[in-house]
Structure 1
Amino acid sequence: MEKVKPKKHLGQHFLTDLSIAERIAQAVKGHGGVSKVLEIGPGMGVLTDFLLKGNLNLYLIDIDKESIAYLHQKYPQLEDKIIDGDFLKFDFSTIFPEPYAIAGNFPYNISSQIFFKVLEDKDRVTEVVCMLQKEVAQRIASPKGNKDYGILSVLLQAWYDIEYLFSVPPGVFNPPPKVNSGVIRLTRNQTQKLDCDEKLFKQVVKAGFGNRRKTLRNSLKSFQLTEEFKSNPILDKRAEQLDVAEFVFLTQQIEKGRGAH
């Protein structure tokens, strides 16, 4: 089989270190009793080989036609479980009506978009184990009060427990990326519903981080706040100082302000 050439426009960096691939595969715990796992961007199947050893019901999705042809040759037993498509545009409800997990070495240029898609499907995605650019991995796993902490940290931590597992140097990829990589695991938490309007919650989080140096009193000016809430000391804080529960509280107060008008 001809090797697949990594394509720059797809952000492909193929992992060549088998021990790292094995560690990533072993980090998939099957949280919530799921057996179905979707691997995003398998390339030439370095991670796939180890995921298959875990007796998982494995599906693969890749946007690269050359990879798809290679994977069909390498894994004839997977047949229709190899999906030729774009993860960001694909509707998984037909293939995965029940809960499933996601694994992969995510293309760095779309990793944030992948997580926003995961959030859309949070009621079925029980676990994500992935490798991505180290600073993005650290941001997602970061606790409040940290300069890395941001919009994606809050939105994902509302629904998932997040662990930063280990770092990976550039030299174990072909071609080597210009940055270090990090592996994280997201495990779906017990939250079924936020105690506030979820759409408004997202808007409040995004506005809060819109200008990180400003206090929330300034960055949330466009929202309606009740007069009594305007003196609350939480508004003297900056967005990075608030955890998920505090953002939920903020959103509730804005809802009250809207109701009062």
Structure 2
Amino acid sequence: MSASTDSLSDVIKRHGLDARKALGQHFLLDPAITGRIAALAGSLDGRHIIEVGPGPGGLTRSLLATPAVSVTAVEVDTRAVAVISELAQSHPARLRVIEADALKEDLSSLTPAPRQIIANLPYNVATPMLIGWLHQGKAWERLTLMFQLEVAERICATPGSTHYGRLAVISQWCADCAVVMKLPPGAFSPPPAVWSAVVSIIPKAEQPSPALFKAMEQVTAAAFGQRRKMLRGALKSVGGEKLLATTGIDGTRRAETLSIEEFDLLAKAHLNR
């Protein structure tokens, strides 16, 4: 038997691959679910896929069942690397395994375009990973990513809603974002304490420059850092009085009422002041 023919439960037992809280691991073992996630990424014909945190390889198997040209699995857990390396022996031309911390790697350098990331992300590092990939918007055709449901709602939140904040502004400024699947805790092994959701993130054709992206990070950090303050007070650290005068935005408003377009104006004004 091998990692490509064993049941995932058998693979986990054979390699001692118990999920570790420190690594934010919650494994998806149901092939029907992993197959649906792979399908949510659209046609993968001719695409190069990067999977972060493959664990025992449930989603990896489903990705290999698509017409994708290649799948590159990036895994920090040595135990999981051994599992996926076994799987790679059955797919030597299409599956590559890289033992590395995805937070520290430039994943866009691992495969040619068109490339996508499809992953059940480790929950403890999912948000910083996403921000890093949004920085590289032009590198990705699409991101299909599993998050805790609350994080997914923060990514896709609209102005004035409870979850609207920095993550929503930056994500939707760079990409079209939508929750495309929700999963209960029982879908995972071990079950997390909360529901999870898959978010489809498709980078927009026009992407901000690195300098403008940094300006947006600074503006949103100031604006949402003190949510109860009016903008004229919250934005003081980034020269808010001038920014508000330049953009014509009312300084008595609060950050959660501003649209993505208004934040874009503020970021550009901050960059050019």
Asked if Structure 1 and Structure 2 have the same fold, meaning a TM-score greater than 0.5 normalized by the shorter chain, the answer is yes
Match of 1:36 in 2: 48
Q: Distance in 2 between matches of 1:227 and 1:84?
A: 45
Query: What SS does structure 2 have at the residue aligned with 1:109?
Result: coil
Whether 1:163 and 2:178 are equivalent positions in the alignment is: yes
Match of 1:247 in 2: 263
Q: Deviations over 1:209-246 (max 9, x none)?
A: 10111121110022323398189453222111112210
Query: What SS does structure 2 have at the residue aligned with 1:108?
Result: coil
Q: How does 1:120-135 map to 2 (within 5 A)?
A: 120-135=135-150
**TM-score for both structures, normalised by structure 1:** 0.89
Letter in 2 for 1:182: A
Letter in 2 for 1:35: R
Letter in 1 for 2:255: A
Whether 1:49 and 2:65 are equivalent positions in the alignment is: no
| Count of paired positions | 255
Q: Give the alignment partner of residue 83 of structure 1, picking from 98, 108, 111.
A: 98
**C-alpha deviation, 1:91, in angstroms:** 2.6
Whether 1:8 and 2:24 are equivalent positions in the alignment is: no
Q: What is the RMSD computed on CA atoms of the aligned residues? A: 2.3
Deviates more, 1:59-68 or 1:183-192: 183-192
**TM-score for both structures, normalised by structure 2:** 0.85
**C-alpha deviation, 1:23, in angstroms:** 1.2
The answer (yes or no) to whether the contact 1:34–1:100 under 8 Å persists in 2 is: no
CA distance 1:183–1:191, change in 2 (3 Å) = same
Match of 1:175 in 2: 190
Unpaired stretches in structure 2, ≥5 consecutive residues: 1-10
Query: What SS does structure 1 have at the residue aligned with 2:236?
Result: coil
Percent pairwise identity = 33
Q: Deviations over 1:150-194 (max 9, x none)?
A: 111111111110011121111111111111111110011122336
Q: Distance in 2 between matches of 1:222 and 1:229?
A: 15
Q: Deviations over 1:12-69 (max 9, x none)?
A: 11112222211111011258x8601101111111111111111112111110100010
Match of 1:235 in 2: 251
The answer (yes or no) to whether the contact 1:30–1:127 under 8 Å persists in 2 is: no
The answer (yes or no) to whether the contact 1:229–1:253 under 8 Å persists in 2 is: no
CA distance 1:236–1:81, change in 2 (3 Å) = same
Whether 1:17 and 2:33 are equivalent positions in the alignment is: no
Q: How does 1:70-109 map to 2 (within 5 A)?
A: 70-76=83-89, 77-78=91-92, 81-109=96-124
Deviates more, 1:122-131 or 1:61-70: 122-131
